[in-house]
Amino acid sequence: MGVVAEQVANREKMQILSNGKNKVDPSGKQKSRLLEEEKQHRFVWSKLKDSCITCGRSFEKVKRKIAHSKKHGVNRTNYCILCHKSSVKQTNEIRRNRWNNFKKLWVLHQGGKCCFCDYNDLSCISVFDFHHKDDEIKEFSLSTLTGFGYNITNKKLFVKEARKCFVVCANCHRKIERGV
């Protein structure tokens, strides 16, 4: 039975039980417990606050953060837009710092300089790029890992893919890609 059909069957069973006088269904669950499970799937408006839980500003003065997604629909939060934006900005900054530190360690591991022009200024690590030796064995671009955070799985994937690359400065990388 599909997931949707199962959910519909469960909902119908709960409606029958809530209308009937029998407080126990055939599986032994009590009516009140079934109703609690049904409530978990609905958005309960009583959980929404009148003000942001971070800064305390009233939602009459500032806009409430509302998220839209295909899976969950509209999701109203207890954060104002300003607090949400600052939280996202902070998270992105942490992620970027972790990525730059890991990239710096890998560049130092590979010699700490460009393979072609010997550029070695590590004060700005974003100057260095990774160029795949052979495009046929390339599984993904290393820059895609920055968007997925920093965890052990990504670190292992990064090392596996970085072994297939040269460390080059941005100028040399552009020249290689142009065929100069």
Per-residue pLDDT reduced to its tens digit, 99-115: 888 888 889 998 999 99
Domain count of the fold of the chain:
2
pLDDT tens readout for residues 19-71: 544 444 555 555 555 555 555 444 444 567 788 888 888 877 778 777 777 77
pLDDT band at residue 92 using 50, 70 and 90 as cut-offs: confident
SS3 35: helix
Residue 170 is assigned to a structural domain of this protein: yes
CB atoms within 10 A of CB 47: 8
52: amino acid identity, one letter: C
SS3 78: strand
- Which H or E run contains 154? helix 152-162
Residue 82 is assigned to a structural domain of this protein: no
Q: pLDDT at residue 74 above 60?
A: yes
Q: Give yes or no: residues 110 and 32 share one domain.
A: no
CB atoms within 10 A of CB 73: 9
pTM of the predicted model over 0.85: no
Q: Give yes or no: residues 28 and 95 share one domain.
A: no
Q: Give yes or no: residues 32 and 110 share one domain.
A: no
* pLDDT computed for residue 135 by the predictor: 81
SS3 74: strand
Alpha carbon distance 173, 130 (integer Å):
8
CB atoms within 10 A of CB 169: 20
Q: Give yes or no: residues 28 and 102 share one domain.
A: no
Residue 161 is assigned to a structural domain of this protein: yes
Residue 79 is assigned to a structural domain of this protein: no
* pLDDT computed for residue 54 by the predictor: 82
Domain that holds residue 6: 1-42
Residue 62 is assigned to a structural domain of this protein: no
Averaged pLDDT score across all residues of the chain: 75
Q: Give yes or no: residues 34 and 96 share one domain.
A: no
* pLDDT computed for residue 168 by the predictor: 93
Q: pLDDT at residue 118 above 80?
A: yes
Per DSSP, which regions of the chain are E strands?
64-69, 73-80, 128-132, 165-169
Alpha carbon distance 65, 62 (integer Å):
9
The residue with greater pLDDT, 149 or 171, is 171
Q: Give yes or no: residues 26 and 96 share one domain.
A: no
Q: Give yes or no: residues 110 and 174 share one domain.
A: yes
* pLDDT computed for residue 43 by the predictor: 47
